[in-house]
Structure 1
Amino acid sequence: MSIDFTVAIRTYNAEKRLPEVLDRLLAQVDTEGIRWEVLVVDNNSTDQTAAVVAEYAQQWRSDSQLRCVSEPKQGSAFARDRAMQDAASESLVGFLDDDNFPAENWVAEAYRFGLAHPQAGAYGSNIYAKLDAPPPPEFHQIKFLLAVEERGAVPFRYTTRGMAPNGPGCVIRKQAWQEAVPKNRRLKGRDETWKVMIANAEDIEIMLYIQSSQWEVWHNPGMEVWHHLPPKRFERSYLLRLAQSGGLAAHSCRYAKLQPWQRPLMPLFTPLYVLLSGWRVGVYYLQNRHDLATDLAKACLFQYQWNVLLSSFQTPRVSASKD
């Protein structure tokens, strides 16, 4: 049986987190006529993640299928490549992480939007925060670091260069990926151990490559996802590291959003990026230097901008995402 839609879940040591995601997918509605599957990509877990998937597979819903593949290379970019490679759908692949909880109609909305917009190479969800406790007061200033974005109730095409949907809950057309996304990219993604540090914007890099091609990138408000943020995600040390790795991704994302003919000219553009980033970080520091030790949001934003500047000098080399 051919598959219309693949839900790909990247997971790492998620034996406790993954069941709620799978429960949300078990409860999907309005999927009549959609041939779909759930593909769990185990990104080198050392816990019982694979066993959890195997247990769920024994009682999975009859109109879908659940399976698990392994990706030993650490980093979410490698896991995404594995998902796209092994997805049974030759058309649409929707991506969730193991802490992303989709609405009960997410599969239906994702699939039907793709049918209605055949030129959409990728499209994203509204992403809400699922919190265990009230967020810090500065949450609204730094929620972009935590992949939380609510971009409205009206669908729109991303036409501003550099703007793109976040990875949680996004859908990518396999043909667009094959045509626009290089196999060898710079950003590998981050794992929960922080051993893979550069950077946590590998999903944005992919979106920008698609946006810079002949394909369109859209926002689909019909797709809704809740990103679970436990209290540890608001610890100062965690947020500062997140800001650091996000800032270090900036130069790679600049490269991805250039037109293909412009990319060989990147060394000529780099001094301008350095000057602009240096000016921004200098102004921000002068304006906020007295608050950086006490104001978490300002400290994170300074860390982010400082590492945007550093990214021009510390951009990782292009490395193979696949064997």
Structure 2
Amino acid sequence: MAEVLTKSLDVTLAIPTYNGATRLPKILDLLLKQVNVKKINWEVVIIDNNSSDNTSEVISNYQEIFSNECSLKYFMEPQQGAAYARLRAVREARGHLIAFLDDDNLPASDWLAAAYDFAIEHPQAGAWSGQIHGEFEVKPPEDFQKIQAFLAIREHGDKAHLFEPERLNLPPGAALVVRKNAWFDNVPQKPKLSGKLPGVFVQGDDYEPLLHIHNAGWEIWYNPAMHTYHQIPHWRLEKDYLLKLARGCGLCVFQLRLINAKNWEKPIILIRTILGNLRRIVKHFIKHNHELKTDITLLFEMEFYLGSMLSPFYSFRCFLNDITRKIT
């Protein structure tokens, strides 16, 4: 599908949100303070993913303020799931670049300018992300840095480098910038992974579009000049949440590996996913048996390995559910 050029802008800054009325003012205030943006024609688009709070009222109050800097638009997306909110943002965007921020991301004052400059310097980059630092309400558990990437905290140093999509080494959807034509031309309108839903915690919706973009020949980059701060409330560091997150991150692994796989590769991926993670589970248990009872970081890793091992079975169950829905 060709990129829509009518009334196009340089950048659309898209914020998917769900019940974000208390979080949105903080990020919108920071967007009003962005520096070095006079050279950029940009807009802000809020995608409300079925909020039940007063999100729409909060946005309405900010729209007049933003009219002096750039336009602030509001859209309701009834299809639940982060993946659908992002797809709606892409459809509504007028920018050649789409910069995604979650409603709990706090961008540095030069984040937008750094994202825009990188696009000019790296024309083969289809998507890029930067440093995402944690802003914690309470102190993280010991050795948290081993699992912090699962909470979209990414600090990979001060040198720009390519990600490795073949190894599922990719940036999160939060604080991600994509070229609209790279997404429009390559990302399916029906995602395999929709993102978190009530009662469902399977992850991977961040990575799915990037795998399609990379398969089309675009590069995926890390740009250290872009800094954001991810607000982590206390409940996201509690045991129950972390273990659900770990299992959800594991359950998407098989489906992600199938996205760009050839048919003959799929049985090999199936065997490697099950046996490879079984080996990791056994090794992890032997090495950390006694510590698993008390160390949340080690428990997280074990739960991720278990979820990854079970991911082919989860994928098969989803396939059966799709067939059942079509029949009925």
TM-score of the aligned structures, taking structure 1 as reference length: 0.92
Q: Are residue 176 (structure 1) and residue 176 (structure 2) matched? A: no
Give 1:252 shift.
Answer: 1.7
> Do the aligned residues in 2 keep the contact of 1:236 with 1:296 (CA within 8 Å)?
yes
Q: Is the 8 A contact 1:125 1:168 kept in 2?
A: no
Structure 2 residue 145 is the aligned partner of structure 1 residue 121: no
**Which residue of structure 2 aligns with residue 144 of structure 1?**
149
Contact 2:250 2:307 (8 Å CA) reproduced: yes
With over 3 angstroms needed to count, the CA separation of the structure-2 counterparts of 1:61 and 1:151, relative to structure 1, is farther
Match of 1:8 among 3, 10, 14: 14
- Give yes or no for the alignment of 1:274 onto 2:274: yes
**Aligned residue in 2 for 1:205:** 208
In structure 1, the partner of 2:249 is: 246
Q: Which amino acid letter does the alignment assign opposite residue 151 of structure 2?
A: L
Range that drifts further, 154-163 or 286-295: 154-163
2:45 maps to a residue whose letter is L
SS at match of 1:186: coil
Q: Name the residue aligned to 2:288.
A: 288
Cα deviation 1:222-263 (Å, max 9, x = unaligned): 11110000111111001011111111111122123x35xx25
Within 5 Å, give how 1:20-99 maps onto structure 2: 20-60=26-66, 62-89=68-95, 91-99=96-104
Q: CA deviation at 1:160?
A: 6.2
- Residue 182 of structure 1 and its aligned partner are, at CA, apart by 2.2
2-structure distance, mates of 1:156, 1:263: 31
Please list, as runs of the form range in 1=range in 2, the aligned pairs for 1:226-245 lying within 5 A after superposition: 226-245=229-248
**Offset of 1:212 from its aligned partner?**
2.5
Q: Higher mean Cα deviation, 284-293 or 120-129?
A: 284-293
2:129 corresponds to which letter in structure 1? Answer: G
Please name the residue that 1:222 is paired with. 225
Sequence identity percentage: 36
Whichever residue aligns with residue 251 of structure 2, its letter is: L
Alpha-carbon separation, structure 2, partners of 1:242 and 1:137: 18
Equivalent in the alignment of 2:325: none
Contact in 1 for aligned 2:32/2:69 (Cα 8 Å)? no
Larger CA deviation: 204-213 vs 48-57 = 204-213
- CA RMSD in angstroms comes to 1.8
The SS at the match of 1:184 is coil
Partner of 2:305: 305
Q: In structure 1, give the amino acid aligned to 2:202.
A: I
Secondary structure of 2:57's aligned partner:
helix
Letter in 1 for 2:187: V
Q: Determine if contact 2:201/2:245 at 8 Å carries over to the other structure.
A: no
Amino acid in structure 1 at the alignment position of 2:306: W
Pick closer, same or farther for the CA change 1:263–1:106 going to 2, 3 Å. Answer: farther
- Secondary structure of 1:252's counterpart equals helix
Contact 1:143/1:149 (<8 A) preserved: yes
How many angstroms does 1:59 deviate by?
A: 1.2
> What secondary structure does 2:293 align onto?
coil
The two structures have a TM-score, normalised by structure 2, of 0.90
Mapped contact 1:41–1:83 kept (Cα < 8 A): yes
What residue identity is the alignment partner of 1:246? C
Tell me the CA shift for residue 180 of structure 1. Answer: 2.5
Task: Name the SS of the counterpart of 1:224 in structure 2.
Answer: strand
Which residue of the partner structure matches residue 326 of structure 2? none
CA contact (8 A) 1:20 1:101 kept: yes
More helix by share: 2
Gapped regions of structure 2 (runs ≥ 5): 1-6, 323-328
**Partner in structure 2 of residue 156 of structure 1:** 161
- Decide whether the 8 Å contact of 1:181 with 1:210 is kept in 2: yes
Closer, same or farther in 2 for the Cα pair 1:73/1:16, shift >3 Å?
A: same
* d(CA) in 2 for partners of 1:248, 1:269: 14
Q: How many residues are matched?
A: 312
CA pair 159-298 structure 1, distance change in 2 beyond 3 A: closer
Output the CA distance in 2 between the equivalents of 1:204 and 1:160.
Answer: 9
* 8 Å CA contact 1:26, 1:61 repeated in 2: no
In structure 2, relative to structure 1, the CA distance for the partners of 1:281 and 1:173 (3 Å cut) is same
Q: Rate the CA distance shift 1:159–1:294 in 2: closer, same or farther, 3 A.
A: closer
Give the deviation of 1:127 after TM superposition: 0.5
Q: Quick one: distance in 2 between partners of 1:32 and 1:14? A: 28
Alpha-carbon displacement from aligned partner over 1:144-184 (angstroms, at most 9, x marks no partner): 22110101111112246221112211101111112332223
Q: Is the 8 A contact 1:7 1:38 kept in 2?
A: yes
SS in 2 for 1:185: coil
Q: Distance in 2 between matches of 1:29 and 1:176?
A: 27
Match of 2:120, as an amino acid? L
Unaligned runs of 5+ in 1: none
Change over 3 Å in CA distance of 1:301–1:268 after alignment to 2: closer
Asked whether the equivalents of residues 157 and 216 of structure 1 are also in contact (C-alpha less than 8 Å), the reply is yes
Residues 7-16 or 153-162, more deviating:
153-162
